[in-house]
Structure 1
Amino acid sequence: MYKLALIVPCFNEEENIERTANILLEKLYSLQKDNLINKNSFLVFVDDGSSDKTWEKITHLNTQNPKIRGLSFSKNYGHQTAILAGITNFDYDICIMLDADLQQDIDKFDYMINKHSEGFDVVCGVRNIIKSRSIIKSISAKIFYYLMKILNSNVVPAHNDFRLLSAKVGKELRKFNEKNIYIRGLIPDLGFNQTYFNYKIKERTKGETKYTYKKLFALARDGLLSNSEALLTNLIYLVLFFEILPFPKLIKRMIRIFVSCVVLEVIKDIYVQSRNRPAYIIKEKI
């Protein structure tokens, strides 16, 4: 039987945290009863610098049940960094990460654990199409995944960090200290035995999504810059294409400005990484 860690990043989720904890604890006990996990399995909330009472509720839940653990960041570092912190700061045989709103299908835990028993170190969930998603988000997502495909990225469309990882994969992730890490693109590049499954995503019951357009844009930026070598190579081809062929001067000028902006973003990313500052600071751990 495995020691399972359920990793739940959260940001301003005071409305959901107690309900989420109760549902996930019930699922843990069910998995334990079915002999899929052992009694040392636990649930960890990673508070990504919430400004509400999320952390207060997590600490209160911990006093009621020691199976509930938590990390609190000193400030908001982002969803991907919160996931990384959960993966790298606790000991387990396997871990499963999911969002605090429980839109992912927790009934798939059994399937994910069984797939790990078959020899898979990474088991990823791919969500169905969200009918309620806005047209802007749908089009933006298609453009992003198209660009990632051009950059030869192995990122899987519609995978939103609902995955199981073995301790071996977690050990490798401890070696990474990237500031703007893109977990969704990094894990496929690590290798190991990986498999995917489809699931139906649920509607959010309380609160609102914390992924604003600004945060989605930042996530897309990190995803594209995580493939900076391929990105720069393709920019060279783009510049050559527009410079060699007889395009209007205005078009050529716009392309040069665009390429310059992208290159500056790459340089900024290199500078941030070169300062060798910690990817995050933990204010409290329980």
Structure 2
Amino acid sequence: MELLHPWRLDFQQPAPLRSTPVVSLVLPCFNEQEVLPETTRRLVALLARLEAEGVAAPGSAIYYVDDGSSDATWRLVADYAATLPAVCGIKLSRNRGHQNALLCGLMTAPGDVLVSLDADLQDDVEAIPKMLAAWRDGNEIVYAVRSRRDADGFLKRVTAEGYYRLLACLGVQVLFNHADFRLMSRRAIESLRAYEETHLFLRGLVPQLGYRTAVVEFARAARFAGTSKYPLRKMLALAWQGITSFTAYPLRLITGVGALVSLASLLMSAWALGIRLFTDHAMPGWASVVIPMYLLGGIQLLSLGVIGEYLAKVYESTKKRPRFHVEAVVGQAFGAEGA
């Protein structure tokens, strides 16, 4: 299975003319007090430049989504919103995870064009003008894809790239080396609103929308300040989420493994019977009993675990619980002064 290949920027095709859009930058935040001042400075300057160049319309703004931070993140966001017209804040009632916080921002922020990116400045903000140029060419979704991963360690780079290839082999439509740095038009956002996924994996869900897309490449930088909020445990959880949310391949794999084990058991039985009937080398021992027992027991437990994971997803989906609750909003776009 090949990776999803959307329209490239160098593919020239007539596109409809579009007016200057109101641009909303959506940034999920979790304990980002160290990097937030620099992020705000760069993004405010970027929006001012885009408005001066006529690329973005007045009213374009930054929307920070505080995902239940335990540090001073929300206080900083509220202070910026009170003094900077281009900054708004959305506070979740508790930590709901990066994907839910990002979805909250996308579903809440106004604007003709929404750009989602991380707050740690690893996503190159200078790629945003290129993404807007691709939108003006008629693309509804523009993916920002890493051209290289020099800022990542060897292990993270190898495992991440291997994971993208694994998803593609399993039939999941993903862009290689794309995370959540993307532009979406209002039309695409409203289409995404119709999806009521309980277990979110947006980098696999957005390609399901099917609109015309483009790709912009950027060099991912090292984190400006603070520490990563995605340790190995969360990365593995997100990886498993992507697999189990978009493919039933693990369930089919269980069927294949079961068939192979059954075939191997029949062959071993035939071999043991042949030794017993036609030779004098049959030697009773514990290995012939214990090894197959542990092998089959392990496969059965693994199979039950995979099946249980899918059943748990069905169970949680049927409850239809809200994916997030907004506790407070600040900023002129919401008509709120603080919270």
TM-score band w.r.t. shorter chain: over 0.9
- Report which stretch shifted further, 34-43 or 141-150: 141-150
Alignment of 1:1-286 (within 5 A): 1-246=20-265, 249=292, 250-286=294-330
Whole-angstrom CA distance in 2 between matches of 1:262 and 1:38: 49
Deviation of the 1:228 alpha carbon: 4.1
Whole-angstrom CA distance in 2 between matches of 1:80 and 1:154: 18
Q: Contact 1:126/1:158 (CA < 8 Å) preserved in 2?
A: yes
Deviation of the 1:147 alpha carbon: 3.0
After superposition, give the CA deviation of every residue in 1:34-62 in whole Å (9 maximum; x if it has no partner). 11110011110011110001001100000
- Structure 1 runs (4+) greater than 4 angstroms displaced: none
SS at 1:95 equivalent: strand
- Report which stretch shifted further, 213-222 or 145-154: 145-154
Q: Contact 1:177/1:279 (CA < 8 Å) preserved in 2?
A: no
Whole-angstrom CA distance in 2 between matches of 1:199 and 1:190: 24
Distance change >3 Å, CA 195–CA 256, structure 1 → 2: farther
Q: Contact 1:105/1:202 (CA < 8 Å) preserved in 2?
A: yes
Distance change >3 Å, CA 270–CA 111, structure 1 → 2: same
Whole-angstrom CA distance in 1 between matches of 2:110 and 2:168: 34
Deviation of the 1:256 alpha carbon: 2.6
Deviation of the 1:268 alpha carbon: 1.0
Deviation of the 1:142 alpha carbon: 4.0
Distance change >3 Å, CA 234–CA 149, structure 1 → 2: farther
Q: Tell me the percent identity.
A: 29
Q: Contact 1:228/1:266 (CA < 8 Å) preserved in 2?
A: no
Deviation of the 1:80 alpha carbon: 1.1
Deviation of the 1:136 alpha carbon: 3.6
What amino acid sits opposite 2:220 in the alignment?
I
Whole-angstrom CA distance in 2 between matches of 1:107 and 1:85: 24
Q: Contact 2:27/2:118 (CA < 8 Å) preserved in 1?
A: yes
After superposition, give the CA deviation of every residue in 1:88-132 in whole Å (9 maximum; x if it has no partner). 112211111111111111111111111111111111111133235
Whole-angstrom CA distance in 2 between matches of 1:128 and 1:174: 30
User: TM-score under structure 2 normalisation?
Assistant: 0.80
What amino acid sits opposite 2:297 in the alignment?
R
Whole-angstrom CA distance in 1 between matches of 2:178 and 2:231: 18
Deviation of the 1:18 alpha carbon: 1.7
- Report which stretch shifted further, 121-130 or 106-115: 121-130
Whole-angstrom CA distance in 1 between matches of 2:262 and 2:93: 48
Whole-angstrom CA distance in 2 between matches of 1:157 and 1:216: 16
- Report which stretch shifted further, 136-145 or 222-231: 136-145
After superposition, give the CA deviation of every residue in 1:42-89 in whole Å (9 maximum; x if it has no partner). 110011110001001100000001221111111111111111111111
Deviation of the 1:238 alpha carbon: 3.5
Whole-angstrom CA distance in 2 between matches of 1:4 and 1:78: 24
Unaligned residue ranges in structure 1 (runs of 5+): none
Distance change >3 Å, CA 242–CA 132, structure 1 → 2: farther
Whole-angstrom CA distance in 2 between matches of 1:225 and 1:160: 18
Structure label with greater radius of gyration: 2
After superposition, give the CA deviation of every residue in 1:239-280 in whole Å (9 maximum; x if it has no partner). 323333458734443333222111111111111111111011
Distance change >3 Å, CA 255–CA 136, structure 1 → 2: farther
Unaligned residue ranges in structure 2 (runs of 5+): 1-19, 269-290, 331-339
User: TM-score under structure 1 normalisation?
Assistant: 0.94
Whole-angstrom CA distance in 1 between matches of 2:296 and 2:144: 42
- Report which stretch shifted further, 140-149 or 77-86: 140-149
Whole-angstrom CA distance in 2 between matches of 1:203 and 1:182: 24
